[in-house]
Amino acid sequence: MSLQADVMTEMKAAMKAKDQVALEALRAIKSEILLAKTNAGASEELSEEEEIKLLQKLVKQRKDSATVFSEQGRTDLAEPELAQAAIIEKFLPEQLSEEEIAKVVEDIIANTGADSMKDMGKVMGMASKELAGKADGKTISTIVKAKLA
């Protein structure tokens, strides 16, 4: 089943349960899917890779907003954002642990022969491709910096 069909099924369940937070998150996903489909040059259906990027973008937006709200002492606004992020994350593939990411990064460093921060771009490019959808860029970046430093 496509992402859009999954979202619609979850939306119906959220409507029946009168779960406003879930409904808001699911509507955001649906909206982004429709926007992506109507963009100039977009194909009829989104590829799985495009769907994952779209979901990651939505999760990142929610988490960034929650961080800003928390810094300003507005936990009343931060909590729904985090709840929405958790709902959106359900549609993402299983995320790798930091140990698993570190292992993949070590293999890439060994294969490329990277030995300094100058090689970070090369390592990040390969790691981002290999770990697409399985880990967020911030985590990958942190691990690559630690390994090359």
Residue 83 and residue 28: Cα distance in Å, rounded? 13
What pLDDT was estimated at residue 1?
Answer: 57
pTM: 0.77
What was the pLDDT predicted at 44? Answer: 73
- What does the H/E/C string look like for 29-51? HHHHHHHHHHCCCCCCCCCHHHH
Q: At 116, which amino acid appears?
A: S
Distances, alpha carbon 54 to alpha carbons 24, 71, 113, 117, 136, in Å = 16, 26, 33, 30, 13
Q: What is the pLDDT, as a whole number, of residue 40?
A: 62
pLDDT for res 50 = 85
Burial grade of 90 (CB within 10 A; 0-12, 13-18, 19 or more): exposed
> Do residues 24 and 7 touch, judged by C-beta distance below 8 A?
no
For residue 58, what pLDDT is reported? 94
- Reading the block at residue 49, the tokens are 């890779």
